[in-house]
């Protein structure tokens, strides 16, 4: 009988210890009692992300300045940044706007290269031409064959805009002017800015 009573007592004590721990946890996580507004003001907020950010790690383009804009078949491609980054990369970014009467998936912009075909509707077919050096640079890709560019997964709805980017090998330091070419679009003449 004493073994049973000991077991019941231990069970009851365990329940009290667990309940006390939970109460202390709730009290500790309850907040600072009115200082929440001060904490919100002191903490810098992260910039809001649009739906395109999971498609790439490029910085958001500065839409205040337009370096070039080309149009074809109801699609408007705006270039807002051309930057030579550390490590020998050239990042081109901007916005694409669907002015057609339906969803645009970007299939005509994909690459003809076998390695990049699995990227689907994307900027995988984009290129940069260094006219001074007379050299064409294709979009970079990772070791699995994914382009270092925006993929238009799910397409772009009518009258909607999406941020985009594409990375290329950077032309030599002496070359500051390039042409950005996307299949089915006219070329855009651009001037490279040096990265930070």
Residue pLDDT, tens place only, 54-72? 444 444 444 458 999 999 9
Q: What is the CATH number of the domain that holds 99?
A: 2.60.40
49 within some domain: no
Share of the chain above pLDDT 70, in %: 65
Do residues 63 and 21 both lie within one domain?
no
What is the mean predicted confidence (pLDDT) over 86-113?
88
pLDDT higher than threshold 90 for residue 162: yes
Q: Which residues pair with 156 in a beta bridge?
A: 104
Do residues 24 and 94 both lie within one domain?
no
If you average pLDDT over every residue of the chain, what do you get? 75
Q: pTM for this one?
A: 0.64
pLDDT recorded at residue 5: 53
The C-alpha atoms of residue 157 and residue 97 are separated, in whole angstroms, by 9
* Whether the Cβ atoms of residue 195 and residue 85 lie closer than 8 Å to each other: yes
pLDDT higher than threshold 60 for residue 112: yes
* Whether the Cβ atoms of residue 105 and residue 122 lie closer than 8 Å to each other: no
φ, ψ (nearest 5 deg) of residue 62 = -85, 100
**Count of domains in the chain?**
2
Do residues 89 and 115 both lie within one domain?
yes
Do residues 11 and 63 both lie within one domain?
no
User: Which residues form the domain of 27?
Assistant: 2-42
At 170, the pLDDT band (50, 70, 90 cuts) reads: very high
* Whether the Cβ atoms of residue 185 and residue 193 lie closer than 8 Å to each other: no
The C-alpha atoms of residue 123 and residue 105 are separated, in whole angstroms, by 11
52 within some domain: no
Do residues 163 and 91 both lie within one domain?
yes
The C-alpha atoms of residue 70 and residue 186 are separated, in whole angstroms, by 6
Do residues 79 and 126 both lie within one domain?
yes
The C-alpha atoms of residue 130 and residue 92 are separated, in whole angstroms, by 14
Do residues 90 and 171 both lie within one domain?
yes
Least confident of 33-47, 156-170, 174-188: 33-47
């Amino acid at each position: 009988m004493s073994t049973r009573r000991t077991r019941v007592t231990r069970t009851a004590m365990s329940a009290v210890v667990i309940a006390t721990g939970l109460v202390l946890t709730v009290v500790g996580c309850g907040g600072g009692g009115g200082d929440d507004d001060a904490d919100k003001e002191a903490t810098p907020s992260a910039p809001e992300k649009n739906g395109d950010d999971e498609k790439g790690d490029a910085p958001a383009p500065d839409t205040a300045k337009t370096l070039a804009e080309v149009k074809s078949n109801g699609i408007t491609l705006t270039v807002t940044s051309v930057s030579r980054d550390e490590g020998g990369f050239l990042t081109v970014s901007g916005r694409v706007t669907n002015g057609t009467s339906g969803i645009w998936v970007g299939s005509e912009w994909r690459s003809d290269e076998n390695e990049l075909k699995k990227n689907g509707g994307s900027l995988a077919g984009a290129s940069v031409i260094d006219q001074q050096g007379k050299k064409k640079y294709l979009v970079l890709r990772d070791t699995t064959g994914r382009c270092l560019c925006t993929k238009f997964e799910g397409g772009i709805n009518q009258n909607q805009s999406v941020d985009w980017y594409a990375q290329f090998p950077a032309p030599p330091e002496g070359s500051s002017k390039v042409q950005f070419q996307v299949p089915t679009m006219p070329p855009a003449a651009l001037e490279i800015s040096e990265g930070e």
